[in-house]
Structure 1
Amino acid sequence: MKKSLIVLLTGGALLVTGTPALAQTAKPTLGPYGYGTVKLGMSATKAKATRQVVFKKSAGEGSCSGWDLKALPTDKDSVGLYISKTVGVAVIFAQKGVKTPQGIGLGSTLKQVKKAYPKVKNSASGFPYVAVPGNPKASYVFIHAKGKVREMAMSLNTQDCVN
């Protein structure tokens, strides 16, 4: 340890080797194109090929099937994303701990949302939404209660799965 400290003080850099416990992996963010390897617009076949999604419910009479992200399973009556027969991965819902590249996630305040996204607007139904920075084909939608985000999704502007 003293050698490392001397190297740090004299060489201006610290080299850590043989300690995988110190290695940190970056957690995927929701945006600007998807979550990890699952990207908006990706077909169901391509999404399955990532091995990061799990099928939950068929499209039935609708055009969208429900799926979960393997790393972020939802409860029995929910889905983590929708895949449309026409536009591919159409909507990805944020789960606990997931944030946008701008640091917004479940539990963020509306004040934080407005600071991170100054161009946020309210939809006709009253929910704040904003174009995803870096991806003009997608938007974030924030459903809130008592001034805090309780649900959040990133979707293609052309999605045909949810209202």
Structure 2
Amino acid sequence: MTKHMITRRLGRPALVAALAGGMLLTGVAPAAVAESATGAKGTLGPFGYGGLTLGMSAAKAQATGKIVRKTSGPCAGWDLKAHPTGRDRAGVYISKRRGVAMIFAPRGVKTPQGIGIGSTGAQLKRAYPKLKESASGYPVAAVPGNPKATYYFLLSRGKVTEVTLALNNQDCAN
């Protein structure tokens, strides 16, 4: 499975743990780091975050009142209202076919195993002993308790800089 997608981070292009699927996102790149003034709290996974559940339809997700649309298309980019991202980023992608397909962890949010932005590579390996490497070289892990989802991680200089919860069959990125 090829897993590449490009995002901007701090004005520089960066490869992000690209996710399974058949198309490359256009218009808005995923949130590398939420840009809210305060760190978020809570847990990303095993089924969702912030009132959103993987697979939830766009209508149901919007009905939560917790998201705002940023782009349209087969995979629309959205932000969590509590954690807005920059102009060329999105914190959530919702597929017309699959519903909520990808959720990017805001700063301060961790997986149930304690991994979040700022965790070390060593902590990541301890938390996910069956951690695998995607075809593109990024760490991926099965989501404990949810066989329909995967965590994707981006590391830079030995630290986690992005955590994504995604449906295994998501169609928003390749």
Shift of 1:160: 0.4
The residue that corresponds to 1:57 in the other structure is 71
The residue that corresponds to 1:155 in the other structure is 166
Secondary structure of the 1:114 match is: helix
Q: Does 1:109 align with 2:84?
A: no
**Structure 1 stretches of 4+ moved >2 Å:** none
Secondary structure of the 2:90 match is: coil
Q: CA RMSD in A?
A: 1.2
C-alpha distance in structure 1 between counterparts of 2:53 and 2:153, whole Å:
20
The residue that corresponds to 1:40 in the other structure is 54
Secondary structure of the 1:119 match is: coil
Higher helix share goes to which structure? 1
TM-score, normalised via structure 2 length: 0.75
The residue that corresponds to 1:146 in the other structure is 157
C-alpha distance in structure 2 between counterparts of 1:42 and 1:149, whole Å:
27
The letter of the residue matching 2:120 is T
C-alpha distance in structure 2 between counterparts of 1:86 and 1:151, whole Å:
25
Q: Does 1:73 align with 2:87?
A: no
Report 1:120-135 matches (<5 A): 120-135=131-146
Higher strand share goes to which structure? 2
Secondary structure of the 1:57 match is: coil
TM-score, normalised via structure 1 length: 0.80
Report 1:80-119 matches (<5 A): 80-119=91-130
Deviations 1:83-141 (A, max 9, x none): 00000000001111111111100111111011111111000100000111110000000
Shift of 1:71: 1.3
In structure 1, stretches of 5+ residues that fail to align are: 1-26
In structure 2, stretches of 5+ residues that fail to align are: 1-40
C-alpha distance in structure 1 between counterparts of 2:59 and 2:136, whole Å:
33
Q: Percent identity?
A: 63
C-alpha distance in structure 2 between counterparts of 1:106 and 1:118, whole Å:
18
Shift of 1:33: 0.3
The residue that corresponds to 1:24 in the other structure is none
| Aligned pairs, number | 135
